[in-house]
Chain A
Amino acid sequence: MSGQGMSGQDQLWEVFVRSRRGLSHTHAGSLHAPDAEMALRNARDLYTRRQEGVSIWVVPSSAVTASSPDEKDPFFEPSADKPYRHPTFYEVPEGVKNL
Chain B
Amino acid sequence: MTAIQDTPGAAGAVGLQAAFDAALANDERIEPRDWMPDKYRATLIRQIAQHAHSEIIGMQPEANWITRAPSLRRKAILMAKVQDEAGHGLYLYSAAETLGVSRDELLDKLHTGRQKYSSIFNYPTLTWADVGAIGWLVDGAAITNQVPLCRCSYGPYARAMVRVCKEESFHQRQGFESLLALSRGTEAQHAMAQDAVDRWWWPSLMMFGPPDADSTHSAQSMAWNIKRHSNDELRRRFVDICVPQAEALGLTLPDPDLRWNEERGHYDFGAIDWDEFNEVLRGNGPCNEQRLANRRRAHDEGAWVREAAFAYASKHMEAKG
Interface residues of A (CB under 8 A from B): 2-4, 8-10, 12, 14, 29-35, 38, 45-46, 49-50, 61-62, 64, 66, 68-70
Contact = CB atoms under 8 A, between A and B. Distances in A.
Nearest to A28: B163
Contacts of B31: 69
A31 B310 contact: no
Contact of B91 (A12, A29, A35): A29
Nearest to A67: B33
Given A4-B314, A38-B313, A30 B1 contact: yes
Contact of B87 (A34, A46, A70): A46
Interface string B298-321: 000000001001101110110000
B1 A8 contact: no
Contact of B6 (A38, A45, A46, A70): A70
Contacts of B139: none
8 contacts: A9-B104, A10-B103, A29-B160, A30-B1, A31-B94, A35-B313, A69-B34, A70-B6
Given A29-B163, A32-B103, A46-B90, 14 more contacts: A9-B306, A10-B103, A10-B310, A12-B97, A29-B160, A31-B90, A34-B306, A35-B313, A38-B309, A45-B83, A49-B80, A66-B33, A69-B33, A70-B35
B1 A29 contact: no
Nearest to A14: B1
A44 B77 CA distance: 19
Interface in B212-256: none
A49 B83 contact: yes
A8 B309 CA distance: 11
Interface of chain B, main secondary structure: helix
Nearest to A15: B94
Contacts of A38: 309, 313
Given A29-B91, A29-B160, A68 B33 contact: yes
B21 interface: no
A13 to B, nearest CB: 10
Nearest to B84: A49
A74 B90 CA distance: 36
B55 to A, nearest CB: 13
Given A4-B313, A38-B313, A61-B2, A49 B160 contact: no
A29 B87 CA distance: 12
A4 B103 CA distance: 17
A30 B94 contact: yes
A66 B98 CA distance: 14
A68 B35 CA distance: 11
B317 A4 contact: yes
B306 A10 contact: yes
B91 A61 contact: no
B104 to A, nearest CB: 7
Contacts of A4: 313-314, 317
Nearest to B317: A4
Contacts of A45: 83, 87
Contact of A35 (B97, B160, B316): B316
Given A12-B97, A29-B94, A30-B1, A49 B104 contact: no
Interface string B95-112: 001000001100000000
Given A29-B94, A46-B87, A61 B1 contact: yes
Contact of A34 (B91, B160, B309): B309
B59 to A, nearest CB: 15
